[in-house]
Structure 1
Amino acid sequence: MVNKLNKAFYNTVLSQTFSPCGNYIVVGDIYGVLSVFHLSKIVQPQTSLSPEELAPKNRVTVKEDFQINSLITAQNHIIVGGVGEIYAYLWKNLRNTKSAHPVWTIEIPDQKDAFDKPDVNCLLFVEESGHLYAGCGNNKIYVFNIETRRILKTLVKHTDYVHCITNNGDDLLSGGEDGVVNIWDIRSFKVTHKIEPFKDDKVSRANLGKWIGAVSANDDYVLCGGGPRLSMWHYRFLTNSTVFPIDDNGIHVAEIFNDKIFAGGRSKYFYQMSFVGDIISEIPTSAVTTYSAIHQEEPFLVLSIAGSSPKIDICSNFMYRNQQLSLY
């Protein structure tokens, strides 16, 4: 009982994803459990909600004490990145079956023994090509065909852990512990440009390190942060455009969304800002460190913020917290 209570109190959520229909959200914790919440009842309650209604609708254990580092939805599947392996579950099974089993798995290659298995820190699915990208703790990014699960390419330009990946058209952007943001052409799988924020005096924070924890992009800008301050760079010229004036001790979430910037990390707030750095909203967070923030506009507007806490903050207008979910 003590062990179970400790797990409940000290749990951490590293990843989240919405169901294809948008009515459910799944969070993955550091103990190998996928927790499924029925969002539509939470975001649009008819009355005040009980603690039971703010708890998971279903729980599925991938593996005991197996850290779930990354989650994405691809087609009708939820893809789970853990330690040394990637699992796929059917969404319909995950919603309703406590004993749901993966429909396929991928083992990350080139590992000699269990102690060397790398974390699958980030996942990306590109629907047009059917490619699944996995950024790992062995400094590599693997490109898989999602239908055959075979490796198409291994990208090896990082010299330390890969923490984050995103895509923008024919470009793939990756950030790592080495402090580098690599910009790849996914047609040739070659690095065409790179940004090294830790070398810029305006954003460098030597006391926090050079690691990049989050990266995002649109056609005009690249947004990135980690040890270096959250900053935006001109996509074409790779010069610094904006340094964001937020109080943090490391960035783990950063996203360009329409004409706004979302950001979070080791901070008591999750931020929404303008491109020039004006703070639009500061949302107090349950977690000391935010590791994941996802949002959707349909079938209803919702932002979900999670991290080093068993509590998940739900914001139905992106401006303040409306509900607080609990893993237990």
Structure 2
Amino acid sequence: MDLRHQLSCTFYSSAFSPCGKYLAAANSFGYIVLFDIDNALRKNSEKWRKSIFVFKAHSGRVHSLVTKENLLISGGTGPVEIWRWNDILDHKPAKISSLNVPCAAAESSFLTNEVNALTCCDKKLYAGRDDNLICVWNMETGICEQKLSGHSDYVHGLASIPSTHGIASCSEDGTVKTWDTRTAQAISTFEPHLEKQLRRSQYGKWLSCVSLSENGQWMACGGGPQLSLWHLRSQTHIAQLGKGDFIPYAVEFKDELVLSGGSGKKIYHWHTNGEAKASIPCSIGVVFSLASCEKQNVTSAAMIAAGTSNKLDVFSNLNYRSHILQV
């Protein structure tokens, strides 16, 4: 990656390796950048805060990365690509599979067949796309088994809970839909812009991010409307989380908290009762991604924030930005 790309790139997504010691971050020029998080945190050296490997993964933007067992899966311009983590760590990345489904309206020059979001649930991979569909691949066979339809505009975000066989999707059309992955049917639809206290007409109704709590009871979402918390089963709006002009682009449940990043150079924390807990400064103008390591007993960060910068913020605990990583 040349200096021009280094200085002007945006990181849309990041994912930890299965061991929790490395981080892959995907950017706007189609590159995946590898960092050694373990050494960056343990050794007080600028050397380890710089990337250790960079490779071209897509012809254009890479919007989403997910780790599934020993695989790294990337989605963006063109097919969904599958890589082995061991190959990447050996600095010899090779695609082991490319998953591609023609655009629903291939004759339209306005649709690019880009994947905006990925999530895994059970043995299935879900890809939210700019043709309004969610494609479902069987990870064992590589076959696209289903296309979930119901959104009328781009699908921007996906979230899953394997224990409940459910996923949620959010869209430019202003809705969040929850789906039963066993039947491939939408089971509920949420429209935050219809709630008076959440509506922000100046920003529109589009939704950029969605997350589900580990127990499957709660959902957080936001975008044009204020970030908000919902009870899934009753489809009840519980609390407005966002305030003022904050536009969320990433939201996660973590340790009984709701975390969100977006505009404003801060990471916000809320309790699940809607009470604000903290706002932590970060160096990134607009945060598009929050990633946390679920691996126990390793030296790793509590959270990584990425967005409109060639740098990534490392939070060694949720309340403190301890390091900055750079390409």
Superposition TM-score tier, normalisation by shorter sequence:
over 0.9
- Report the alpha carbon displacement of residue 301 of structure 1 after superposing the two structures with TM: 4.7
Conservation of the 8 A alpha-carbon contact between 2:175 and 2:192: yes
Would you identify which runs of 4 or more consecutive aligned residues in structure 1 move more than 6 Å? none
SS at the partner of 1:14?
strand
TM-score (normalizing by structure 1): 0.92
Aligned counterpart for 1:157 among listed residues 140, 150, 161: 150
Is the CA contact (8 Å cut-off) linking 1:26 and 1:35 kept in structure 2?
Answer: yes
Query: In the superposition, relative to structure 1, how do residues 33 and 114 fare at CA in structure 2: closer, same or farther (>3 Å)?
Result: farther
Q: Is the 8 A contact 2:102 2:113 kept in 1?
A: no
Calculate the aligned-residue CA RMSD, in Å: 1.8
Provide Cα deviations, 1:204-244, integer angstroms capped at 9, x if missing partner: 11111111111112332221111110111122221211101
In structure 2, distance between residues paired with 1:200 and 1:255: 22
Q: 1:49 maps to what in 2?
A: 45
| Larger displacement relative to structure 2 (206-215 or 291-300) | 291-300
1:108 and 1:264 map into 2 onto residues whose CA distance is 32
1:62 aligned to 2:57? Answer: yes
CA distance, structure 1, for counterparts of residue 252 and residue 106 of structure 2:
36
1:278 pairs with 2:288: no
Q: Secondary structure at the match of 2:61?
A: coil
The corresponding residue for 2:203 is: 208
Identify the residue that residue 167 of structure 1 maps to in structure 2: 160
Tell me, in whole angstroms, the C-alpha distance in 2 between the residues paired with 1:49 and 1:58. Answer: 17
The alpha carbon displacement at 1:139 in A equals 0.3
Q: What TM-score, normalized to structure 2?
A: 0.92
Bigger mean CA deviation after superposition, 280-289 or 17-26: 280-289
CA–CA distance in structure 2, aligned partners of residues 104 and 153 of structure 1:
18
- Between Structure 1 and Structure 2, how many residues are aligned? 318
Q: Which residue of 2 aligns with 1:257?
A: 254
Within 5 Å, give how 1:225-304 maps onto structure 2: 225-297=222-294, 298=296, 299-302=298-301, 303-304=303-304
- Residue 113 of structure 1 deviates from its aligned partner by 6.4
Indicate yes or no: 2:144 matched with 1:147: no
State how 1:2-151 maps to structure 2 within 5 Å.
4-45=2-43, 48-50=44-46, 52-64=47-59, 66-97=60-91, 99-110=92-103, 112=106, 115=109, 116-126=111-121, 128=122, 130-151=123-144
| Separation in 2, partners of 1:326, 1:113 | 40
Q: For CA contacts below 8 A with separation 6 or more, give which structure has more relative contact order.
A: 2
Q: Which runs of 5+ in 1 are unaligned?
A: none
CA separation in 2, counterparts of 1:71 and 1:58? 16
Q: Secondary structure at the match of 2:95?
A: coil
Instruction: Work out whether residues 128 and 155 of structure 2, in 8 Å CA contact, stay in contact via their aligned partners in 1.
Output: yes
Quote the sequence identity (%). Answer: 28
SS at match of 1:42: helix
Kindly provide the CA deviation profile for residues 9-64 of structure 1, in whole angstroms up to 9, marking residues without a partner as x: 2210001000000010000011111111111111222xx312x3211111111145
In the alignment, structure 2 segments of 5+ residues that lack a partner are: none
Q: Report if aligned partners of 1:268, 1:285 keep a CA contact under 8 Å in 2.
A: yes
Instruction: Determine the structure 1 residue equivalent to 2:192.
Output: 197
- What is the aligned partner in structure 2 of residue 313 from structure 1? 313
Q: Does 278-287 or 80-89 show the bigger shift? A: 278-287
Instruction: Summarize deviations over 1:251-303 as a string: whole Å, max 9, x none.
Output: 11112223111111122201122123333232222221100001125223511
